[in-house]
A and B are shown apart, each in its own frame.
Chain A
């Protein structure tokens, strides 16, 4: 099954919410929409579901134009970030609701609801009301309702965002398994790059209503096509620096003075001389250890130590930079520290934000 957006755009009151978008989402594996809050993930889902009608473009499903068809006539299921259940109905009736509306036979409804409840460990709760359940169970109920329907298109809008850490881990592992067998096109929205990487599948990065990049999740992460995609797909935020390329050398410069210099990589050496933006993920910025990598000096602003990881925010050439290193490194806030840059892993973006060599 395939969901295809062809030049789909949405304008509300003269304001562009979604820029013309082309996307082709296949079944099997999750299709992840990655972007910050208000990037347009939910709106795009509404357009896919038919809850909202695009002001331009078409939505195709299975080779059929479904643009003007209301959501009721499409076979769609959706799970929201807030735990949305029908408060007046029991958990059983909540899960059965789409089947009841479809006038399915009583015995079949019963069998399907019990199967879904079993998968989501809700069997003892079937007689209760949603507000008597814990947050995790409420969201499981919503997921079960999406599951029983055998929908062609399943939209999961940050379904784990409001859950605590442990439940989130647990459900994240279960979700792909639950929907795998269903043969639906599954779309999953998240704000967290790490979640996208864990879920794999395909990822589309969104920024201010625009799809900036789309591809297999790992490939998109390793080789983002442009600056925005790299920025959206990095947490902590990707470090950016202005670099000057002269001949075969690249220099990270501030006010004309080079802070660090290194050989241009193959992709960049073929590009014209001039100013580029370098993007370097935080875990490629390590405390200096004399390994011969280009080193820079920056004033440490904030440090965060977790059990096995040190994160230091520092200032470099007027830009906020982040270093993310394994082990405990004692950084003193307010003092300068030296950092080594794994420049071989850096991305270089031209003036238009395109990655050089992409």
Chain B
């Protein structure tokens, strides 16, 4: 019995990886082969699908747009959340608990609710179809999340650390950047990761608030499916490339995320 204990996890992992394998396999097949019948692996290997994406600006700009607004959003969200989380973790003020909870309720409405007001507002202030526009819209749900995560990490740092730094002669800005931020850097990593992830996978707002100049890759994928018929191989290749940034980010923060879960805030 014991020597079979590897069986269950192996099957489980195979099962989980199945769709990803299928996507990768499809991306190396021709559309004809995909539609022609069932094959476990590409009979005729082709890199044309990837070649199209890397040469056609309407494709690769989708990736560039996505990465620009996602990075902007991550920087803005974490930058705004850091002082907010510090205030929540260190000071007591009127309505602090209510405000903290209210932050979370911002995540309870589906983004679709905000699509209409955002479009109307963005046309008025000329943020429509800009990277910063999408980044700001995503702050709506990412700032509360980042505040929530960072506050958990900051709470874990004893207040005496702040006191010791002031006693040593640190000014607040110097303490915050030299001592405090390095102390909670895993928290910053986890918060940035989640902001990145949620902004990267969010489609509805990103699609609604852009037209050409800031159109995200996910929106381009859906467009191609409708206009150019069934270019399934191309779509699969685009899908594979869309997974990669997330995978890279996960690789870098994998150790911190466990800590984030341990703190009960993720």
Which residues of A are in contact with B by a Cβ distance under 8 Å? 46, 49, 51, 70-72, 76-78, 80, 82, 84, 86-89, 97-98, 101-102, 142, 145, 149
Q: Which residues of A contact B158 (CB under 8 A)?
A: 80, 82, 84
Asked whether B160 lies within 8 Å of A101 as measured between CB atoms, the reply is: no
Contact of A86 among B166, B171, B183, B185 (CB under 8 A): B183
Asked whether B161 is an interface residue with its Cβ less than 8 Å from the other chain, the reply is yes
Q: Inside 8 A of B165's CB, which chain A residues have their CB? A: 86
A-B contacts, 15 of them at CB < 8 A, read A49-B167, A51-B166, A51-B167, A72-B169, A78-B163, A78-B164, A84-B161, A84-B164, A86-B161, A86-B164, A86-B182, A87-B183, A88-B182, A88-B185, A102-B169
In angstroms, Cα B160 to Cα A78, docked, is 10
CB-CB under 8 A from A97, the residues of chain B are: 168
**Is A71 a contact of B160 with CB atoms below 8 Å?**
no
Residues of B within 8 A of A72 (CB): 166, 169-171
When distances are taken between beta carbons in the complex, the residues of chain A under 8 Å from B183 are: 86-88
Interface residues of B in 154-189 (CB under 8 A from A): 158, 160-161, 163-171, 174, 179, 182-183, 185
A77 contacts B167, CB within 8 Å?
A: yes
Asked if B167 and A78 make an inter-chain contact with CB atoms under 8 angstroms apart, the answer reads yes
**Residues in A neighbouring B164, C-beta threshold 8 A:** 78, 80, 84, 86, 142, 145
Q: Would you call A88 and B179 a contact (CB within 8 A)?
A: yes
Q: Return the chain A residue nearest B185 by Cβ.
A: A88
Q: What per-residue 1/0 map shows which CB atoms of B180-210 lie under 8 Å from chain A?
A: 0011010000000000000000000000000
Are the C-beta atoms of A84 and B160 separated by less than 8 Å?
yes
Residues of B within 8 A of A76 (CB): 167
Residues in A neighbouring B185, C-beta threshold 8 A: 88
What residues of B have a CB within 8 angstroms of the CB of A49 in the complex?
Answer: 167
Q: In chain B, residues 129-177, which have Cβ atoms closer than 8 Å to a Cβ of chain A? A: 158, 160-161, 163-171, 174
> What residues of B have a CB within 8 angstroms of the CB of A78 in the complex?
163-164, 167
Interface size of B by CB at 8 A reads 17
Q: Are B160 and A80 in contact (CB under 8 A)?
A: yes
B166 close to A71 (CB less than 8 A): yes
Query: What is the bound-complex CA distance between A89 and B183, given in angstroms?
Result: 9
Q: With A and B bound together, what is the CA distance between A71 and B163 in angstroms?
A: 9
Residues of A within 8 A of B160 (CB): 80, 82, 84
> What A residues does B163 contact at CB under 8 A?
46, 51, 78, 80
- The listed residue (A71, A86, A89) touching B167 by CB distance below 8 A is A71
Contacts of A87 in B (CB 8 A): 182-183
By beta carbon, the residue of chain B nearest A52 is B163
- Main SS at interface, chain B: helix
User: What would 15 more interface pairs be, CB under 8 Å, given A46-B163, A84-B160, A87-B182?
Assistant: A49-B167, A51-B166, A76-B167, A78-B167, A80-B163, A82-B158, A82-B160, A86-B164, A86-B179, A88-B183, A88-B185, A98-B167, A101-B168, A101-B169, A142-B164
A101 to B34, CA, bound (A): 66
Closest A residue, CB atoms, query B158: A82
Contact among A70, A82, A145 with B168 in the assembled complex (CB-CB below 8 Å): A145
Closest CB of chain A to B172's CB: distance in Å? 10
By a CB distance below 8 angstroms, the chain B residues around A77 are 167
* Chain B residues whose CB sits within 8 angstroms of the CB of A80 once the complex forms: 158, 160, 163-164
A97 vs B169: C-alpha distance in the bound complex, in angstroms?
Answer: 9
Q: In the complex the two chains form, what is the Cα distance from A86 to B174 in whole Å?
A: 13
Closest Cβ of chain A: how far from B171's Cβ, in Å? 7
Q: Are B169 and A98 in contact (CB-based, < 8 A)? A: yes
CA distance A159 to B158 in the complex (A): 16
> Which of B164, B165, B170, B171 is the most central at the interface, judged by chain A CB atoms within 10 Å of its CB?
B164
Q: How far is the CB of A152 from chain B (nearest CB, A)?
A: 12
Q: Give the chain B neighbours of A51 by CB distance below 8 A.
A: 163, 166-167
Closest 8 CB pairs of A and B: A88-B182, A101-B169, A98-B168, A80-B160, A84-B160, A84-B164, A78-B167, A71-B166
User: How near does chain B come to A93, taking the closest CB pair, in angstroms?
Assistant: 10
Q: Across the interface, which residues of A come within 8 angstroms of B168, CB to CB? A: 97-98, 101, 145, 149
Q: How far is the CB of B257 from chain A (nearest CB, A)?
A: 19
Complex Cα spacing A142 to B168, Å: 11
> In whole angstroms, what is the CA distance A145 to B168 when docked?
9
Q: In the complex, A351 Cα to B139 Cα: how many Å?
A: 66
B98-119 Cβ-contact flags toward A at 8 Å (1 or 0): 0000000000000000000000
Most buried by A among B160, B170, B185: B160
CA distance A91 to B218 in the complex (A): 49
Distance from B30 Cβ to chain A, minimum over Cβ atoms (Å): 53
Which one of A82, A89, A101 contacts B170 once the chains associate, using CB atoms below 8 Å? A101
- B185 to A: closest C-beta gap in Å: 7
CB distance from B118 to the nearest CB of A (A): 39
CB distance from A295 to the nearest CB of B (A): 51
Among residues of B, the one whose C-beta sits closest to the C-beta of A75 is: B169
How distant is the Cα of A183 from the Cα of B169 in the complex, in angstroms? 20
Q: Which residues of A contact B179 (CB under 8 A)?
A: 86, 88-89
Least Cβ distance of A313 to chain B in Å?
A: 36
- Cα distance, A77 to B163, chains bound together (Å): 10
What is the distance, in angstroms, from A72's C-beta to the closest C-beta of chain B? Answer: 5
Min CB distance, A113 to chain B, in Å?
Answer: 13
In Å, the complex CA distance between A70 and B168 comes to 12
In the complex, what distance in Å separates the CA atom of A101 from the CA atom of B163?
15
CA distance A232 to B266 in the complex (A): 45
Chain A contacts for B161, CB-based, 8 A:
84, 86
The minimal Cβ–Cβ distance linking A87 to chain B, given in whole angstroms, is 5
Taking CB atoms, residues of chain A closer than 8 Å to B169 are: 72, 98, 101-102
In this complex, the member of A49, A76, A78, A84 whose beta carbon has the largest number of chain B beta carbons within 10 angstroms is A84
